[in-house]
A and B are shown apart, each in its own frame.
Chain A
Amino acid sequence: MILSTVTLLPLVFALIIALWPAEKTLRHLALGLSLIEFFVSVFMLVKFNPHTADLQMVERYTWIERFGISYFLGLDGLSLWLVMLTTFLTPIVLLGAWNAIENRVRGFLVCMMILQTAMVGTFLAMDAIFFYLFWELSLVPMYFMVGIWGGTRRIYATVKFFIFTMFGSVLMLVAIIYMMFLTQESSGTMSASLLEFYKLKIPFVGGQFLSLQTLLFFAFALAFAIKVPAFPFHTWLPDAHVEAPTPGSVILAGVMLKMGTYGFMRWVIPLFPEASEYWAWLFMSIGVIGIIYGALVAMVQPDIKKLVAYSSVSHMGYVLIGLFAFNEFGAAGSLYQMLNHGISTGALFLLVGMIYERTHSREISRYGGLAAVLPLFTIAFFVVTLSSIAVPMTNGFVGEFLILLGAFKAQVWVASIAVLGVILGAVYMLWMFKRVFFGEPGELVGDKQHPLHDLSLREIVVLAPMAVMIFWMGLAPNQFLSMSQESLRHWVEHRTNYELNIAGDASTVSGEQK
């Protein structure tokens, strides 16, 4: 029951919030509820058994018998930390955005809760149609969040976000339906279960685009690449991120982008091993282009939020490279980088939101000399910057190092170019840091209309867990990675004949090695 609780509890919370009588205490209520959700997920983490790659805490009920679609939730090392990331960020976002959302608070909190269900469900669903349901459902609350509470160009941004993502996912739907018929052909009964999909042997012809596995591969990969977003499909991201309200940006960057890379990890690579291997060069190149292009574009942004948004494109490029390196370092690094990016970029968006609340401006050129006026804020920003540019001892270093290690083992040329991204990352972040915090006091410093005051207690409480995580994950990566190690090893070693067993299933226990 624990997975259902984690997934569906926010939906219940959304209902409670919608019916809560007192307008004044809505924020307190939502924060409290999201903390309950976090503790439930901690309980799930405690119960998780790290010594097996099998699917745990499985819940499976037939939903649509005719097509073999089931309500199917399961947890393994690949999804564990992403669920934790989601439940960890939500209370932080709610507290961090205490004053960012001023009107229609109730609607906003309801959207947040529905979104949480959709995200957790995406990570836990093990049935293709059930997965698709959450995947598409996540669009709706985010669409409203950007569209109602966003900036000036919010409507353009939100419609673009919706259409782009939907375009990718409908082709995936056709591919899913096709694969359901393949399961019927091979086993006699139709099934939408991912475990059945893994068992399929889909014929692959190298060099021929119009062959079955290649087409299915691209139908899935397109959907996930748009979500990541990989290089040519990234154009919705700066718009959506910049126009979204702070909590929307944090969730979008922190969790929703991971739905794309998780998709590659869980669906694309194990389902289509030959095609993935054949087209690895393409996705490696896309990753490398994303790293360099994102960093270069970030460098010239006059707007802090846009800079952070483009840095996401760059960081997510690493994740793609790590995944398509097909070795343990790359895979572990990618998983770690997903978490890092969620924390560091989430924190950056929160910090940008905090300074925006004070000055109502995000233009780098209007800042300068903030360090003297806002010491605490400067320290917090500096810590997060360190994480973002992957300085050793922070979490960012571990992820990028592992990915580059994996990439060197797989493709030296890819790694050599990707290393440039590390330097470029340091350049744009530190340069921005210099312009905002040092030098001559900018026009916004000492502006009577927008008095600058340092971090409040609430903001410190918001940022403290992020800072703790940055160093904790940087100093003791094994505590986190060991939980996923078995799953990652299984993922790498059995890439060409990937199958997942359900833990405790009588028919599979005997086959276990350990």
Chain B
Amino acid sequence: MNSYFTLLDIIRVSPLIILFLSSLIPITIKVLRGNQEQSPEATLIQGLGGILAAALLTMTVRAVAVDPASASVFSGALTIDGLTFWTWMLVLLSAATALTMMYDNPATNGDQFSELTFLTLSSVLGMLILAAATDLVIVFIGLETMSLALYLMIAMSHEQKLSKEAAFKYFVLGSFASAIFLYGISFLFGTAGSTSIPEIMALTGQLIVTNRLFVFGIALVMLGFCFKVSIAPFHAWTPDVYQGAPTPHTALMATAVKATCFAAFLRIILTKSLVGSESLFNFLQWLAVITMLVGNVAAIVQNNFKRMLAYSSIAHSGYLLVGVITAGVSDHTAFGTGGVMFYLLGYSLMSLGAFAIVSLMEKNETTSVQIDGLAGYARKRPLMALCLTVFLLSMAGVPPTIGFFGKFYLFASAVGEGLIWLTVWGVLNSVISAYYYLRPIVVMYMQDGDAEEATHPMHATRMAILAAAFLVVALGILSGPIFTVVERAM
């Protein structure tokens, strides 16, 4: 062990490096110009350019520099496997869309946009590390890089009250979750003698039965993730933070952050600790059921559109947890993980679209979009109303949208593993969810009113919405080959 890393390692993490370097460009320019903000268009292009470069490099690395047998980087600290690849692509896609929304949104545009771009890219950097990490300490580093940048981003909003509360709440509860997670790691290190996930995995089968401290540790690590992906009863922060944060940030949290945390959650669950521990298995199943119910039932009574979407996001975490559990007990892990990954792709597309519509309707940073405020939107903006309808129906799981096929793959793998009652809970919950997803559609199309939109045109956001709506339908119909590719990669 005389050299800790090789040139190959550097090539494999080059997307991270390029992203980090490009995140520095806007703020460096600002400093060089004597603290004068450059034009937001230029900042946006630099940010998107960085993300695009990272995405292209990721694809190149996957095609050229990774062979499936040894995908590990830096002596197993990171792994560039299929799960990493797809999560990275998803995160970069979501981040690009969210950054576009930030450029348009009144709560985030204007002054300090270059700082915001820097923080966004730093947060994305944290996500990429987290998604690839196969050492628990690196997992923690990724988690904190991501979260710290997010706390700042939320607090930077031009809106004065709710966003500060949201940032503080997110910070306190997020740190609490990190502490639990760290506490869990210490137990795992103490019992297994390593923080490397593959090494822990090799010992799990034996330790999970013999050593209660190990079970305790792995349970705490999982609870840490449950906090992050807002599994009930650890979801209480979600509605407040999602509502208080500027809408583009909410979109980023609901999609990229959630996808990353689920990817990391999958790595923990793939240690197969659920197979050895019946109680852990049952515990997670109950959490999934409770999460779906809490999210869907609470969403019914919401009047604030963003808050409703926040509760719906909790419910979707519940569905995803079903997939995570499936991956945890399945012999063909690719089945469950493929389902989770595909669902995350679908969920990200429809959430980005829905939040982008909310962003369109925000006239200034203090606007709060109510569901009743959508009245008459279909007459005023038929195309946007149609897109929102597509997103909401997709969330409810109506075919032929990607939301339906996402649920289909997720539940099909669960049924394949014999988790039938969990699946029945899942589908019944999607009926409950149909009730509140229909409400905005009812208001838009069937009630007269004067829906208000932001005064400036927001062309970039509109483009993103149209693209997302197209993909929700097109990828739904063509989901078969995509799912196969995702599944093979796992």
Binding site for B on A (CB under 8 A): 63-67, 69, 129, 132-133, 136-137, 139-140, 143-144, 147-148, 154-155, 158-159, 162-163, 166-167, 170-171, 173-174, 177-178, 180-181
Contact = CB atoms under 8 A, between A and B. Distances in A.
A154 B400 contact: no
Give 9 nearest A-B pairs by CB, closest first: A64-B480, A170-B427, A133-B399, A177-B415, A147-B446, A167-B431, A177-B412, A66-B484, A136-B399
A162 B420 contact: no
A167 B480 CA distance: 26
Nearest to B399: A133
Nearest to B393: A140
A62 B398 CA distance: 22
B100 interface: no
A162 B399 contact: no
18 contacts: A64-B479, A64-B483, A136-B398, A136-B404, A140-B393, A143-B438, A147-B442, A147-B445, A148-B445, A154-B446, A158-B442, A159-B442, A162-B434, A163-B435, A166-B431, A171-B428, A173-B411, A177-B412
Given A63-B480, A159-B435, A174 B398 contact: no
B446 A65 contact: no
B314 to A, nearest CB: 20
Contacts of B420: 174, 178
A163 B442 contact: no
A67 B412 CA distance: 9
A483 B400 CA distance: 33
Nearest to B429: A170
A200 B129 CA distance: 48
A55 B483 CA distance: 31
Contacts of B480: 63-67, 69
B482 to A, nearest CB: 10
Interface in B375-427: 393, 398-400, 404, 408, 411-412, 415-416, 420, 423-424, 427
B430 interface: yes
Interface of B is mostly: helix
Contact of B412 (A144, A148, A167, A180): A180
Contacts of B442: 147, 155, 158-159
A171 B424 contact: yes
A147 B434 CA distance: 15
Contact of A163 (B399, B404, B408, B431): B431
Contacts of A148: 445-446
A512 B446 CA distance: 55
A170 B399 contact: no
A181 B427 contact: no
B453 interface: no
Contact of B408 (A129, A144, A158): A129
Contacts of B445: 144, 147-148
A133 B400 contact: yes
Contacts of A65: 480-481, 484
Given A66-B483, A137-B399, A170-B427, A162 B438 contact: yes
B446 A139 contact: no
B412 A137 contact: no
Contacts of B398: 136-137, 139-140
Contacts, number: 78
Given A66-B480, A155-B446, A170-B430, A178 B415 contact: yes
Interface of B: 393, 398-400, 404, 408, 411-412, 415-416, 420, 423-424, 427-428, 430-431, 434-435, 438, 442, 445-446, 479-481, 483-484, 487
A137 B394 CA distance: 12
Chain A interface helix/strand/loop/mixed: helix
A177 B408 contact: yes
Contacts of A174: 411, 415, 420, 423-424, 427
Contacts of A69: 480
A167 B411 CA distance: 16
Q: By CB atoms of chain A within 10 A, which of B415, B416, B424 has the most?
A: B415
Given A171-B424, A178-B415, A66 B400 contact: no
Given A64-B479, A177-B415, A181-B415, 10 more contacts: A64-B480, A66-B484, A67-B480, A136-B399, A147-B446, A159-B438, A162-B434, A163-B435, A167-B431, A170-B427
Q: Which residue, A66, A132, A154, has most C-beta atoms of chain B within 10 A?
A: A66
Nearest to B443: A155
A171 B442 CA distance: 25
A474 to B, nearest CB: 39
Contacts of A171: 424, 427-428
B392 to A, nearest CB: 11
A17 to B, nearest CB: 14
Contacts of B423: 174, 177
Nearest to B413: A177
A173 B480 CA distance: 18
A29 to B, nearest CB: 19
Contacts of A140: 393, 398
A154 B420 CA distance: 36
A133 B430 CA distance: 16
Nearest to B484: A66
Contacts of A181: 415-416
A158 B434 CA distance: 12
A155 B435 CA distance: 12
Given A66-B483, A147-B442, A163 B434 contact: yes
Contact of B399 (A63, A132, A180): A132
Contacts of A173: 408, 411, 427
A143 B411 CA distance: 26
Contacts of B431: 163, 166-167, 170
B383 to A, nearest CB: 11
Contacts of A129: 408
Q: Counting chain B CB atoms within 10 Å of each CB, which of A64, A136, A178, A181 scores highest?
A: A64
A137 B400 contact: yes
Contacts of B487: 66
Contacts of A159: 435, 438, 442
B142 to A, nearest CB: 32
A197 B434 CA distance: 29
A496 to B, nearest CB: 27
Contacts of B411: 173-174, 177
Nearest to B480: A64
Contacts of A64: 479-480, 483
Interface centre among B411, B416, B442 (most CB of A within 10 A): B442
Contacts of B446: 147-148, 154-155
> Among the interface residues B399, B400, B420, which one has the most CB atoms of the partner chain A within 10 A?
B399
B434 A166 contact: yes
A151 B147 CA distance: 51
A129 B480 CA distance: 12
A216 B479 CA distance: 27
A155 B447 CA distance: 9
Nearest to A170: B427
A166 B435 CA distance: 10
A170 B411 CA distance: 11
Contacts of B416: 181
A136 B445 CA distance: 20
A296 B235 CA distance: 51
Contacts of A163: 431, 434-435
Nearest to A167: B431
A250 B434 CA distance: 26
Nearest to A135: B399
Contacts of B435: 159, 163
